[in-house]
Every structure is written in structure tokens, then in C-alpha cells.
Structure 1
Amino acid sequence: MKYRILLWFRSPWIGTIILTILGIAGNYFKWDLSLNLRFALGSAALLIIFRLYGLRFAVPALLAINIPFGFGGSYLFMTGLFGLEILFLYFYFKWFNKGILFKGDLLFWGCIGLPLVFLMYQYRLDEMGIKMMTLVILEQSFNSIINLLIASILLESIISRIKIDIKPTYTISLGRIIFKYLIAFVIFTSLLLLTVSSHQQFQDIRGLYSSYLERSSYIYKQDIEGSFSDMRTVKPLMNKYKKNFYIDSVLVSPLGSSMYSTLDNKTTKQLVQDGSYESLMIKETADGARIFHHFPLNRLTLIERWQESYFVMDIPLNHNYRLLLKLTAAFYLERIYIFYIQSIITILIVIGIAILLARPISRKITKPLLELAKASNNIPRKLVKDTPIDWPNSNISEFHALIENFKLVSLVLENQFLQIQRDKENLEIRVVERTFDLAESESQKRAILKYAINGIISTDHQMKITEFNPAAEQMFKYSREQVIGRPLSDLLVIDTSQQEDSNHSITAIRSDDTPFQVELTRSEILAEESSFQTFFVHDLTQQEKERAQRNEHERQLEALNDRLREEQGVAEKQKSITGNLLESVQEGIVMCDSKGIISFINPTMLSLFKIKDYTGYSVQQLLHHIEDQLIEGTSSWIEKLEQFLNGEPHWNQGELVLLKNEKILSLYVTPVTDTVQQIEHGVILVFRDRTEEEQVKQMQNELISVVSHELRTPLSAMMGYIEMLMIYQDMSIEKRHTFIETIHQEGQRLSHLLDDFLDIQRIEADHAEYHMTYIPLYELLQGICHQWNPDSRDRIILHHEGVDEVFITGDHHRLIQVFQNLISNALKYSSAESLVHIVIEELPHQIRVSIEDSGIGIPVEDQARIFQKFFRASSASEHQIKGTGLGLYITQRIVNDHKGELSFVSRPNEGSVFSVLLPKPKKNDSAHSIE
């Protein structure tokens, strides 16, 4: 509930107790606004109790609320003063039943309260002084006005929201609210300005005292320190300064006791040792002196504390002496009193003017509302009598909008009144029309009964037939005259428990006692004295036939759905297989729809271009990403592809895509078209990696060039020597023998070259045959070494670290081919003076043969490809060393087929070591040849 806390004030006892506690707190915790403005807010609670609950609750509250004033003369005076206030208001409301609390209480304080306060303090005039008494009276005036204003505002807030005892809630005049809030605004604004000014006044006084003490202490300190040589001159010096500067002083010894003082002993002791004063340090000078403002602790009011306060300057001297200077604060209080009297009188005058002006201002503001209330009184009556309404005018935008809203409401009411009159006239016309409509409805009813497709049977309250339409006659094979007056049960088997207006199937009986199924709908109509029912009968004979056909159709449809689901499963399986196939192929595949949005991109495509998954992006975004990876000047195909995707008819399949990472791709674009509807669903882009093919193609071209050269060289030599033998018949036998030997060597070279090509064909077709036998390895290598000419033979050194002959299992011819290739390469790729070392090592399970040369070595960048078919290292071309690039390829394949391993270590310009690891023969192997 929004105002739940106010509900406590419904009970007079609870409300009085709460307000009494608040009043005691208001009088106990007083609010010191400035030097002589101390607000006690207890009388506001007393006024609220009196106005809400009456005199009998206000009297005990009065005694309790004034307890914080003590039980002396102040308590009796304040209790008596507030008691007179309550009695005055009691009789005021007796005489003026509709009186206002604000006016009554102002009248009391102006005529009785303030004069009594003046008389009370008149006896203390000599003690207080005229200015002090004036301040006290002004303070009481302010207190009464503040308490009255608070009580008035809170009272109206309470009585307008809840009922107090048997009193109803009241409405509050807007003018009264504006009046009180205007006065409150003026009062609190004035108090705020006074508070700010008072605070500044205090700061100015403290600054003035501090400056005075600081200036006076400058010479005083020097004179006192100069008198330390003769302490007898200190006392006269202090009296001199008191007379000239009105400053008392105390000289404190290093032990903290008073040595000389211009004050009496009690004041001196109080200044040096006593703690009955509160000290506030307001300044510390550069030489260590501190200025304090001392306030007495046993005084209550701010003005009393200021009257007995004083300023002290603590000055450190040589030899740990201290000089205390005292200046009383009462010196400047007279001008403060004058300032406050002038300020408070000015504020009271402003408040008086505000009270005088608040009523006309509030009336001026609320005048449009009063005139609007008068004009809007009983608007419907004025509209009936067609009396013009005198609407007020206002320059205030809110009031103007409210008046316009009332005008609009009045206009709406007037339109509604006219509409009601028109509706009355129209109603009379419609009654006449309704009479004709009923007659027409009766004729329509007869027509409906006559031409209705379904049977319609009406009965009276005894369930006897009263109406039987032609459709029912045809359905039941009865005439209307035959069934009128007969019980309905002769035609229909009806279950009386079935609900009205529900469609249900029952059994009907034709005139030939043939039963048939019908759908029956029943409707009951209640009249004033009786009721009758109408039955709508639909023959289900044809419907049953249709239901049977529909069931058959549903069965066939279910079978068709099962077949479709089966085909859909097959399609999904095929789709899954296709997806797996697309993801596993080595070509990069991109599928996009007719709008150019990518719907699928396989992992190969992502790895080829090192890109993210562009599914859902446009194909143009993918092409722009790919363009950054192309070799500069090779991106023309992207423009052609974009033109093809935008509808251009021509595209060259297999367009080359050259990447910066030296990969070569070919692009194939295939539109996806519905051949039946001739609709294009998108395109498929296939990027095929042709890097290895191009490399093999290049190597084959190089091989053809090399092979043609290698074949042509021995053939040319053979043909040359044969022609010379044919031309020079008289050639000497020695020279002829040399030519024939050369022809034989070139023929063997040509035969070896052809054997290499045949070996490659057999190896790659897996048709190579191996005749495995036990072979003495050292003897085999010795025979191979003796095949070279004497110069080359002298360069070959065969090492055998074992004592016994080492046997291996292998094909004798193929192993000769292996070691011939390796020794030939070692001789060919090293200088004519360098040696080739062949080392045989017997390991636990293997035999290792190492061929080491000190030739040109293999470049590091070529070592990974040295065993590739047709590959020749770049160093071979640089040194113009002939070869086909097949020897090491054939050698490795032969070694692998012998379950061995061929490896090498090479350093450019230092030489190479090729090692062949072959397994040792098992002990149970036969010494005969094996396949």
C-alpha cells in the first residue's frame, strides 16, 4: 500500500505516541543554523496532535514534549506558552469552524506569544542586553513560523489520505497548497542565504583574530627572547603589551609550568593545563606558532559558546620556552549581533511580504481551475437544455491544455447525445422493418425446408413430428401427411443421453422397414410455454461407400509413401557416398548455386590454397583470395571465369593456374543443369593439381633429349668407324683392330642404355625376375672392379674388414648391375686423380657395402630427389657429365627388391658415400638357387 505508514495515525493513541516521540526528539536535538538561530521542532508535533486528535490528547503530549527544556523556569515558561497556544487555537476553531491553522497560530504569536516572550526576557535585560534580547525574540519568531509551516504541510498530507477515528478524509484546496509552498520556499531560501552569510562571517572573524595575533606576536616574541638575559624585565614587558594591545599572555617554562602571566591564577591554570575547553586549530605559521579557537564545553547554545570563547596563539621560544597569547572573542560580538538583527528583521519583512502576496498569487494561479470547475458543472444537463457553456481562458499552458480537454469531452458528449437521439429514431424505423423481415424469414424458412438437401424433421415437446421436408420424404419413403403427428421413434432410433447440437451416427428406418445409417444433428428451441426440437438428418449410405474408397486410397497412399521413403533412404545413402567421394578425391572441388554462393568446398581445395572454409560466401570472394596467391601476370583466367559465371558462353577447359608456391593447377568448370526443365542450378569448379605431371613431362622431355643424344653418340661413333673401315681397305691390322674394338665398346654402351630402359619397364610393371643364389660378395666386387680399364681400375680400392669370405643371397646379374652403377657414378663424378674406396662391413644381421668418392658431391637442394626417375643433379649439368638419370632409380628398386636399403651421405665439393645394406642369408637356406 502506497501510504501504509500513514495508517498508524488512524488510532489517536498510536498517533499521539509517535508524534510525541518525534516532538521530544525535535526539542532535544536542536538545529543551530547560525549564531543565534537555534530551531526546536517539538511544537510542530504538538500542533499536529491537537489538530488531529483534539485537546485531550494535546495536553499530555505538551507536558512530555517540553521535557528537553528541563524542569526549571524554562520548562514552566515553555509549557505555559505552548499551553496558551493550544487553548487559543481550541477557542479559535470553536468560533471559526472552517478556520485555518496557519492563520490562527499566526494570530496567536502576533497578539499573545511574542509579547509574552518580550515580557519574560524584560526582567533579564540588564543581564542579557538589548541586542541579545532582540535576537532571542527574533529566534522565537522564526521558531514559531517554521514549526507552524511544517505542521500545516504535514497535516494536509495526512488528513487528505486517511481517515482519523470517525473523521472522513478531506480534499485540499490547490490555492492553499500553493500558498504554503510559496511561503516555505521564501523561508527556506532566506535561511539558506543567512546560513551561508553566517558561515562567511565566522570565517572572517577567525581570519581577523588570526591576523591580529600574528602581527602582535612578531615584535612581542623578539622582545621576550631579548629579556631572557634579565628575567626581571619579563613581567613589566608583558603588562606593557596587555595595556597597548589588549592581549593577555602567559610565559610557560620548559617544564610546562606557568612562570609569568597577566591573567589571574585560575584563568592561567585553565589556559595552560585545564581541558574544559574544546580547541580548534585554525592556523600554523611558518615559524611553528599555532593559533587555536577555544570553546567552553559546558555551554549549550552557540551564542553562549562564542561569548566565552577566546583565541590563543602558542609561540615556541628559545631554550624550549613557550609564550601563550590570549584574545577574547567577545570583542567583535557586538557587530555580529547587529548583523544578525538586521538580517533576521529583513528576512521577517520578506516573509511578511510573502504571506501578503502568496494569497493573491495562489488565487491568480487557481482562478482558471475554479472557473473551469464552475463551467464543467452538470454538463449533461446543459447539453439537454442546449445551454451555452462559458469556458474560461488561461495563458498557462497546462491549464490551457486542461480546458481544451474539457471542451473536447463536452463536444464528445454532445455528439453522443445527438447520436442517441438519432439512434432512437432509427430504432423505431427498424422495428417496422423487423416486422416485414419476420414475414420474409417465414417464407425463407419454407423455401429452405423445401429445397434443403438434408432431411429436416421438427417435433414438439412430446417428440411428435410437426414438420417433414421433401428431402426427408425422399429419404424415408414417407409422405409428409403420413408422418405428421407420429412419434419420432418410428423413424429414428435416438439415444436420449446424447448431447444437443452434437453430430452422431444413428440407425433410421424407411417405410419398408429397411434400416440405414444417418448422421443426426439435434437443436432444441425454448419458447415461452413450450419447447420444440429440430433434427437435421444426413444419409450416410453414399458416404459409407466413399469412406471405403477413401480407406483404399489411404492404403495405396501409405504404400506409395513407404516406397518414397525407401527411395529417399537410397538417395540419402547415395548422397552420403557422393559427399565422401568428393571429400576424398585429389582434386579441389567447389560447388556454388545459381546466385554464386558456395554450397560445398572439399578438404583438398582448402589444402591446395591454404584457405578457410568459404561455404556460404560468394565465389567472387574466394577468387579474390586465390588471386593473391597467383604468380604476377597470370590472373587473366579469373576475369574470364567471372564473365562465364555472369552468362558469357565461352570457357576454355583446363585453364592453367600458376601459384607462387610453384604449384601448377588446371581449372575445369561444369554447369549443373536440370535437363528436364532446362534450369541451371549452379556450377562446379574442379582444380586439378598438375604439378607432378608437369614435372614428369618436363623430365621426360629432358630424357628424350638426353636419350637421343646418348643414342646418337655411340651410333655416330660406330657409323664413323664402319665407314672408315669400308673406305680404307688397306688399313693396317693394328688400326683395324683398334677400330673394331671401339665399335664393340660403343655397341656395349648402346646395349647397356637399352637394358636400362627395359629394366625400368619391367620394374614398373612388376615383371622383373630375380634368380636368388648364394654369392661370395668379395669375389663379386673384385670381378666388377676388373671390368674397368687399367687407369680406372687403379683408382678403385677394395677393403674387406673380415677374415672369411662373406656370402649374400641375391640375383648375381642384378647385384653386378647395382654395384656397377654405384662405382661408375663414383668414378664419373670425381676427378681422374681421386680414389674410390669400397668397404665391406659385416653387421650382426646385415652386410653393408660402402662406395666412397671425393668428387663434386650432390647439392643439398637436390638430395631429396636424387632417387627419382630421370632426375639429374644440377652439379652434373654444370660439369657437363653425361647420363640419363635412370641409374640410381634402377639401383634403389633392385636393392629394395632384395629387402635391402640404399642410402647416401653427400657434401658438396667434398664427395659422397653410398651405402648398400643387404640381409644376411639364414642358416637353413639352401645353397642352391632360389626364386
Structure 2
Amino acid sequence: MISIKSQLTKNALLVFGSIFIVQALFIGILWIYIEQIAWRVDRQREATKVIRAVCATEMQSLLSMHLVYRHFINAIHHGRHQWDKLQSEKDWTELPKSMKTLEKLIGDGPAREEVRQLHGYVYGNIPAISKGLISLRDRASDLMQIEREWDGLFEHADKIVVMYEQLEQDAGESLSELSLVALGAVLVVGLGTNIAIALALYNKFFSDITRRFDKIFEDINTIGSGAPLLEVPRGSDEIDMLAMELHEIAANIQRFQSNEKVMFDHATSVVCSIDESGKIYSIGRGSADQLGFGTADLIEKQFASLPFFDSSSNIEAELNRLFSDGIDIEFDTTLRKPSGQTIDISWKGRRSDEGDTAVLVGHDVTELSSQIRKIRQRQEEFKNIVDRMPIAVVTTDESFVISSLNKATTDLFRCDPTKLLARDLGVLITGATTTGAQLKEIARIAEANPIELNVKSFANEIIPAEFSMRSYANAYSKKTYLATFRDISARLQIENVKRDFVAMISHDLRSPLTALFGTLEIMVEGANFSSTEEGSALRNANTIVANLVNLINDFLDLEKFEAGLGVLELNQISLLRLVEATIAVEHLNKASITITPAAFDPNVNVRVDQERMTFALAHFVSLVQRFASPDAKIRIWLAEEAPAASITITAEGFHLPEEVRDASLSRYALVPVISDEAVESSGLALALSRAIINAHNGKVRIEADENIESVTIELPLSSKT
């Protein structure tokens, strides 16, 4: 921003201020001259008006005098003694009007004394004497007196006329003299002043400014030619500032060109310029080094003739498209360096605004191309894995239109891929396209949990399948669905066999064994054995049958819970009371168990089937007792961490063997956890206990901490009491 304190601005303000003052003086003088002329014109006009008013008053007086004489003569000759009253009143009314006009014009002027005398004649003596002539008495004296009065009136009126005629003459002469002399002087002074100002401006400013601007234009041409500016101006006005800014711009351009050269010489990308014929006319040293050539080897060389693996005709076609169509181009090439190394280069080209040259920028994408090839290889491997999967996998867009599928899909639905691609997903689910609302509802349910449904193949086979869906955003950030179909025909067959097996155990095995167990119980309690061996054999048989019945019952209960058909009688109970009830179970050694409710609110409640949960907790306590050190104290910790409460059971020396650890959390594993043979418990009790806890939406985990293992059971919290 240019400062107003600069020298050029100060000089300009000084000159234009002086011009303003001179012009103001000239206008002031001209204004005074005009005012003088206007004043003299007004004096002349005023004198003329006064003379006219005096003449009008004299004329009206003459008319009044004529009227008086006429009536007087008529009265003498004809004996008439009456005035023409109407005409008399009119004439005497006009005379005062003329007098008022005269008084208004003269005001406080030099003839005010004469006007006062006229006022006395018009309003006083003359009207009174004139009316006295009516009586015909003493007419001669009245007539003489009125003549004297009129003579006095005319005398004073003539004085006024003479006075104002002189004023009119003086004003006219003064105006004539002022108009000729002053006007000429003012015009000459004004013209001379303006000419002097114009010459001063030209000599002092315009010629110097024009010369300095010519020098600036020369500097601009010098910058355009690329030559340096040698002379640095020194000054404080705006033009010198502009010249210094121009030198600063030239210095910046030189620095930029130097930096640009360094940048091009060390650029990580290949940058070169070509003409319309495809010849390279400019390339940096760094760009040439990246291509493996010297700069001199590439200048004036056809770009398409470089040792590319690609066809030169393809490259020439791209360059022709760049120059003929004027659109930016992109193409990839593989170049063999003189050293034998090959590199992948991605080129971008843009034509100049003039249209006769273009710039090509190449990026070494060898590493990127290698990564892309690896990604494509991984994609192909993943595609092969998906194609070999035994599960039918289908991807769809947001509108449920099938975009890809694997080989298992065509095998499951007995069709060629072309019959499914670009078709609606409903074809796989129902055999015909469904509405969008139906598919959205199916997708919503299948995203939450897999669902089982029947699908119809193109061979008109009804196939039971487990269907699930997941949504994700693809590489273009668009919603995509991944749907899977798993043929569950074999599983359903196994489940049917299993149901038959469970029904057989329930009806064909448990019922007779229960009856046999009851019979043996009666026999053991009521029979007298002749020998100890007979009683022992009968009791052994009773124990075996009891264990078998317990195993069957646990197996059937486990099946119910695994199938989600287990019945629970849920009631709210304090967690502390639940643990205390567990300790009170008959087969547990209560004296060796301690409860530690660390930082635990005793009013924390859980909603459980108390009998089932007591059974489950008791068996996990028994598990710890069995694999702990002999006579070790069992410690139970209670803790609350919303939304669950935890029960941790451990003891000194508690450690589960690897095979027991795996079996204790496996389905249908036989793990005897109670060593007391008097207690009836099957090997499935631990699996059943885990199933009971799972049915309560709980969790069981075995943890190791400082070489001491523990069993932790988590149960969802209910409300506090």
C-alpha cells in the first residue's frame, strides 16, 4: 500500500492545492465583479422605477387638477353646483395609490424629505381646498390657493425626478466603465494563470513522470527477455517505489527460476516438455537421471522412441490425442534403462494454452505396480478360496441385485452363473423375485441371526438352508450385502436321528430302567440276604442302575437346554443367599468353604431358577474341591460390575489337568466331579451345569492368576432390594 507521505504525493498535493487557491481567488474576483455589476444594475433599475412612479403621481395630480377646473368652470357658466361625485371619488382614490407606490420605492432613500412634502400635498391641503370649491363661496381665493398647492407638488416632484435621473445616469456610466475594464482584466488574469499552471504541470510533473514510466516499461521488457536489471532506482515517491517493486519481482523471478531448476534437477518425478512433433525440447537433469540417460541424450529425441516395452504407436496415439483434442491424457509405460533395469512409469500430459507444446509428468510406480500385482494375486487367491468354500456366497448391491457368486452357489442351485448375475436375490430365496420390502425384512432378520428356510434350485429341488447376511461398505463406499447359504440337509438328517435316539432313550430305556431301579430299591431295603455276597451283589446292581438313570436324566435335561427347550422357574433372589444355599448342598464340605463379598452390595439380586442354579454352582464348587490341594480352603468371591455379577471359586493348589479343562467346557464330555460314591451324580453333570448357566444368559470361564486357577461364573443383574 502506497503511503500518502511519499514525495510524489506531497508534490501533487502542493501543486493541486496551489491550483485550487489560485482558482478560488479567480472565482472570488469574478464573483465580486459580478456582484458590482448586479448592484449597479439594481441602482439603475431602482432609479427608473422611482422616476416612473413620480411621473405617474404627477399625471394623476394633473387629472385631479383638470377635474377641479372643469367643475369650477361649469359652475360659473351653467350654474351647476354639484360635483360629478362618482368620477371625483375615483380620481382622488388613484392619486393616493400612486403616492403609496412612490413612498414604497424611495423608502429611506435620498429623496425621502421631498416624498414627505408630496405626502402632505396629496393627503392634506389639495383634497381639502378642492372640496371647498363646491360651496361657490370665496372661490377666487380657493382657486388661487389650490394652484399654489399644485405648483408646490409639481416642484417637489420635479426635484425627485432630477435627483433620480442623476442617479440613473451615474449608475449607467459606472456600469459601462466596470464592464469594459474589469471584465478584460479578469479574463486576462484567469487565462494567464491557467496557462502558467498548465506549463508548470507539464514541465514539473508530466514530462518527468512520462520519462520514468518509459524506464519502467523498458525494465518490464528486460524482465520478459530474461535479462537481469542492473540499475536499482532510489527515491521515495510512488513511481520509484513501483520501480523498486519491479526490481524485487525480477529478483524473485530469478530466485524462482533458480529454485525451479534445482527442483527439476532433483525431482522425484520425471518432468519433460515436448513440441507438437513429439520431440523432447526440455528435461531436467534429475528427470533424465531417473530414466537412466543424460540430458543431452534426450533433447531433440522423439519421446515415443524411448526404449518402452509398450508399442510406440500407442504412445504416439496418446500424444496425438493430447495435441489434437486438447484434453489431458494419462497412460502407463514400462521403460528399460540402459543398465537393463525396468521401471513402470505412470504419465500425465497437459497441453499448453498456446497449443504448440505440452508437459509430461511421469511417476515411478514400480513399487506400486508390484503391490497392485500382489493385491490382485491375493484377490485371485481369495476368490479361489471363496470358490472352493462349501458354503454358497453371494454379494449384492444396496438394491439386492446379485453382483458376484462362488462355485458353491451354482452347485447348490444347479444353474449356470449367468442365470443369477444381475438378478434379484429373491430368485435364490423363493424362486421368484420378491418385493424390496420383503427382501429388506429378510435381510434385517438374517443380519441379526442366521435363519433357516427352504430354497428351490433351478432343478426344482427343495433344499433346506441356513441363510445369513452381513452389510459392509465396498471400495466405493457404497453399501453392499454378503449373503451365505449353507446346505443343512445333512444336519437336519442328523438332528432327526438324534431326536429318534433321544426319544428311544426317553421311552425305551429310561422307563424300564426306572422301573428296575424301583424294584431294586425295594429289594435292597426289604430283603433278608442269606449271605453277605448276595446283598453286596444286589446293592451293586442297584447303584449301577441308579447311576445309569441319573446319566439318562442328565442327558435328557442337557438336550433340552441345548435345544433351547429347558424350562426355568425364574425368581428374584439375593446373590449372597444363592451362594449360601449352594454351600448348604448335602455333598459339599461346608466347613472348608468361605465367602468373601469384597466391595459387594449384599442387596444385589439375580433372577434365576434357584434349584437349577444351586445344582450348577454346587458342581463347579465340587470341581474346585476335587482338583485342589487336600484339605484346602475353598474361597468364593462375589463382585458386582454392571450389567453382571460374578462368582469366583478357587482354592489353594487348584489346577485342572489339560484334558479335564477341555472336557469341562465341552459338550457331552463325561467329567466326574464328585468323588463321594454315596452321592448320585453322572459324568454329564458339569456339562449340564454349564448349559444351565448359559440358559440364564450367564458365562463360565476358567482363569489362571499367579499359578492359581479359578472358575468364574457371571450372571446378569436384576434390581436391588
TM-score (normalised: structure 1): 0.21
Q: Which has the higher contact order (CA 8 A, sep 6+)?
A: 2
TM-score, normalised to structure 2, is 0.26
